[in-house]
């Protein structure tokens, strides 16, 4: 029997290997086997033929690997219910444990999990009482009570506010009302403490920031700002003005400012120092004005830059040493500080726009300004200065040079490096006797006006001046007199160009105008009048000479000169 089966097998094999091509083509196709019965033949049971076993079995749009139950289309994704207990993540007190099925309010504070910013703390929910303790209890994004809008001290709404969105106005508040503002932590707008009866600012002892201006003004009984010691930032300007009993600014010790912050310290009769301002290294405008008890600026020791710097009418101020780190200022005004003896505190100042110095009765020197090489405008008036030696490095003035009297210096010694003035030059009502000190000056782009200088003998010092871009005025104008002691114009002997008019009037001792014979370019009318010792014939001779050079001479006023 065994041998027969083997023989039959060989026969079948032989039949399979034989036959024609046509016979092979008509043989039936081999059938695939679907072992898992899902119709795709890959054996993974998921109904697709990729072999990964991750199809969407219940047709709910969620793959098997991401579905809590891929046989029930009503049960969602794991991403929405991590423990697949049927309670969505936002409402599940513990979405890592399917045995905990508490729904809606985990901490029992009456607010659903989805609306509670901390559903593990029953004291934290929208509308909860909120104090500053490091926790945002009322879910408003702030640690404390947030009050929308602007507030006035007598409004009941301000009581309990810790964050004020807008302004807080304390105008007219009595000292007994300080409790109304107690606990304020931050003010988004301006804080105005004006015309109050406050003796101190006790109610603001938690204040850390003001988004707008801080104005402390007209508070006759305010003796201290100490309660502002927690304040660190300010978004606007600071005004400390007309507080009769305020002796210092202690309380502002931690306040940081920027180059956008203007600081005004004005008319505080008892203020003796600015020591609390030590953290301020940059300011916009700084004005220290009319503080009669202020003796120094030492509290500004870290200040490196300011826009407009005005130090004025501080009658006890003796020194600017407190500005020893200041390197730049757009405008520098030092005036009417009658006890000020030195500018040495400005020795690091290298960049200044406008410089205005005057009426400092005890100041005899500009020593301290040696680093300045260029300024926009320079004005010195009513000065007790004996010389301008502190300006020895100055070589360019971009705008105006104006010196007006009375002055205690008789020459311009100290300006020997000055080469160019891009604006106008005015010497008016000074005590100058000569202009020596300007020997390096070659051009003035604007006008040159010299009038009302009754001690001026000559124009020596201008021997290098070649051109004046606008008018040349020597003597009377609409608002000033002549130069009564001026004898001649020889200092202008190198002058070649006057771009505007020439006016020489009311110089009673002037006898010679020979210094103008070097002119080869005239831009305007020529007027010479009321020079009572200047011969009219000398004027006529000069005009004739210019005409011989074919210069466009336009003769203006010519009267009141000597008939000789």
Rounded to whole angstroms, the Cα distance separating 154 from 196 reads: 12
pLDDT digits (tens, 9 = 90+) for 521-552: 999 999 999 999 999 999 999 999 999 999 99
What does the pLDDT read at residue 116? Answer: 67
What does the pLDDT read at residue 115? Answer: 76
- Span 147-167, average pLDDT: 88
How many other C-beta atoms can be found within 10 angstroms of the C-beta atom of residue 406? 11
Closest residue by Cα to residue 262 from 241, 233, 240, 284? 284
The percentage of residues in the chain with a pLDDT greater than 90, rounded to a whole number, is 69
pLDDT digits (tens, 9 = 90+) for 11-56: 444 444 444 444 444 444 444 444 444 444 444 445 554 455 567 6
CA dihedral 202, 207, 213, 219 (to 10 degrees): 0
Question: Helix/strand/coil (H, E, C) string of 375-431?
Answer: ECEEEEEEECCCCCHHHCCCCEECCCEEEEEEECCCCCCCCCCCCEECCCEEEECCC
Dmax over CA atoms of the chain, in Å, equals 170
Residues 6+ apart with CB under 8 A from 550: none
The 3-state DSSP class for residue 264 equals strand
pLDDT digits (tens, 9 = 90+) for 174-207: 999 989 999 899 999 999 999 999 999 999 999 9
Look at residue 564 and tell me whether its pLDDT is greater than 70: yes
User: Whole-angstrom distance between the N-terminal and C-terminal Cα of the chain?
Assistant: 170
Band the pLDDT of 476: cuts 50, 70, 90.
confident
CB 528 within 8 A of CB 561: yes
What does the pLDDT read at residue 14? Answer: 45
Q: Between 173 and 121, name the one with better pLDDT.
A: 173
CB 465 within 8 A of CB 445: no
Residues 6+ apart with CB under 8 A from 315: 292, 337, 338, 339
φ and ψ at residue 7, rounded to 5 degrees: -65, -40
Helices within 486-535 (DSSP H only): none
- Span 326-349, average pLDDT: 96
CA angle 53, 56, 59 (to 5 degrees): 155
- Span 329-342, average pLDDT: 97
Q: Between 95 and 223, name the one with better pLDDT.
A: 223
- Span 363-376, average pLDDT: 96
- What's the token pair of residue 453? 């200088």
Q: Between 53 and 375, name the one with better pLDDT.
A: 375
What does the pLDDT read at residue 126? Answer: 73
Rounded to whole angstroms, the Cα distance separating 149 from 155 reads: 12
pLDDT digits (tens, 9 = 90+) for 60-106: 567 766 766 655 665 556 556 565 655 665 556 655 554 444 556 67
pLDDT digits (tens, 9 = 90+) for 344-353: 999 999 999 9
The 3-state DSSP class for residue 451 equals strand
Out of 153-157, 514-518, 548-552, least confident range: 153-157
Rounded to whole angstroms, the Cα distance separating 185 from 145 reads: 9
Closest residue by Cα to residue 469 from 501, 510, 437? 501
Match 């109904």 to its residue by tokens: 47
Rounded to whole angstroms, the Cα distance separating 536 from 531 reads: 9
What does the pLDDT read at residue 61? Answer: 61
- Span 277-303, average pLDDT: 95
Band the pLDDT of 159: cuts 50, 70, 90.
confident
Rounded to whole angstroms, the Cα distance separating 78 from 62 reads: 10
Closest residue by Cα to residue 171 from 191, 201, 185, 156? 191
pLDDT digits (tens, 9 = 90+) for 442-469: 999 999 999 999 999 999 999 999 999 9
- Span 146-156, average pLDDT: 87
Measured CA to CA in angstroms, residue 2 lies from 6, 7, 9, 35 at distances of: 7, 9, 11, 34
Band the pLDDT of 156: cuts 50, 70, 90.
confident
């Amino acid at each position: 029997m065994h041998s027969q089966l083997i023989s039959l097998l060989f026969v079948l094999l032989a039949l399979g290997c034989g036959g024609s091509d046509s016979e092979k083509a008509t043989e039936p196709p081999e059938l695939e086997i679907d072992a898992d019965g899902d119709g795709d033949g890959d054996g993974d049971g998921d109904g697709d033929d990729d072999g990964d076993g991750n199809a969407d079995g219940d047709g709910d749009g969620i793959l098997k690997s991401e579905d809590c139950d891929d046989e029930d289309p009503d049960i969602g994704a794991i991403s929405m219910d991590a423990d697949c207990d049927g309670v969505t993540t936002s409402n599940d007190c513990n979405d890592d444990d399917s045995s905990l099925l508490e729904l809606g309010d985990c901490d029992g504070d009456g607010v659903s999990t989805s609306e509670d910013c901390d559903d593990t703390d029953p004291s934290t929910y929208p509308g909860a009482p909120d104090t500053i303790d490091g926790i945002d209890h009322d879910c408003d994004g702030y640690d404390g009570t947030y009050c929308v809008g602007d507030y006035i001290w007598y409004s009941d709404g301000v009581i309990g506010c810790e964050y004020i969105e807008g302004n807080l106005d304390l105008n007219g508040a009595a000292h007994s009302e300080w409790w109304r503002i107690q606990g304020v932590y931050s003010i988004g707008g301006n804080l105005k403490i004006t015309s109050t009866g406050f003796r101190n600012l006790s109610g603001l002892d938690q204040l850390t920031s003001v988004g707008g201006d801080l104005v402390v003004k007209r508070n006759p009984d305010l003796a201290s700002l100490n309660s502002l010691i927690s304040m660190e930032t300010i978004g606007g300007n600071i005004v400390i003005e007309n507080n009769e009993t305020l002796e210092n600014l202690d309380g502002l010790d931690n306040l940081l400012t920027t180059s956008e912050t203007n600081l005004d310290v004005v008319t505080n009769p008892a203020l003796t120092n600015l020591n609390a301002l030590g953290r301020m290294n940059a300011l916009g405008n700084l004005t220290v004005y009319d503080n009669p008890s202020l003796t120094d600026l030492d509290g500004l020791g870290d200040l490196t830059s300011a826009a407009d710097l005005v130090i004025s009418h501080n009658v006890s101020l003796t020194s600017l040493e407190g500005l020893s780190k200041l390197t730049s200022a757009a405008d520098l005004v030092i005036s009417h500080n009658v006890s000020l003896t030195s500018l040495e505190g400005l020795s690091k100042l290298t960049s200044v726009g406008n410089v205005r110095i005057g009426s400092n009765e005890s100041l005899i020197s500009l020593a301290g300004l040696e680093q300045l090489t260029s300024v926009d405008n320079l004005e010195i008036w009513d000065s007790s200065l004996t010389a301008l030696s502190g300006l020895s490095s100055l070589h360019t003035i971009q705008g105006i040079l104006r010196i007006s009297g009375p002055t205690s210096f008789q020459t311009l010694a100290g300006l020997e490096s000055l080469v160019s003035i891009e604006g106008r030059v005015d010497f008016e009502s000074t005590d100058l006797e000569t202009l020596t000190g300007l020997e390096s000056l070659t051009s003035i782009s604007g006008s040159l006006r010299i009038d009302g200088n009754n001690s001026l003998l000559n124009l020596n010092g201008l021997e290098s001046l070649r051109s004046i871009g606008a008018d040349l005025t020597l003597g009377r104008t609409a608002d000033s007199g002549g130069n009564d002691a001026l004898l001649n114009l020889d200092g202008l002997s190198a002058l070649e160009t006057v771009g505007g008019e020439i006016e020489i009037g009311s110089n009673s001792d002037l006898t010679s105008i020979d210094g103008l014979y070097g002119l080869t370019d005239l831009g305007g009318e020529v007027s010479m009048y009321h020079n009572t010792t200047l011969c009219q014939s000398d004027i006529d001779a000069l005009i004739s000479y210019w005409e011989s050079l074919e210069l466009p001479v336009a003769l203006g006023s010519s009267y009141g000169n000597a008939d000789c």
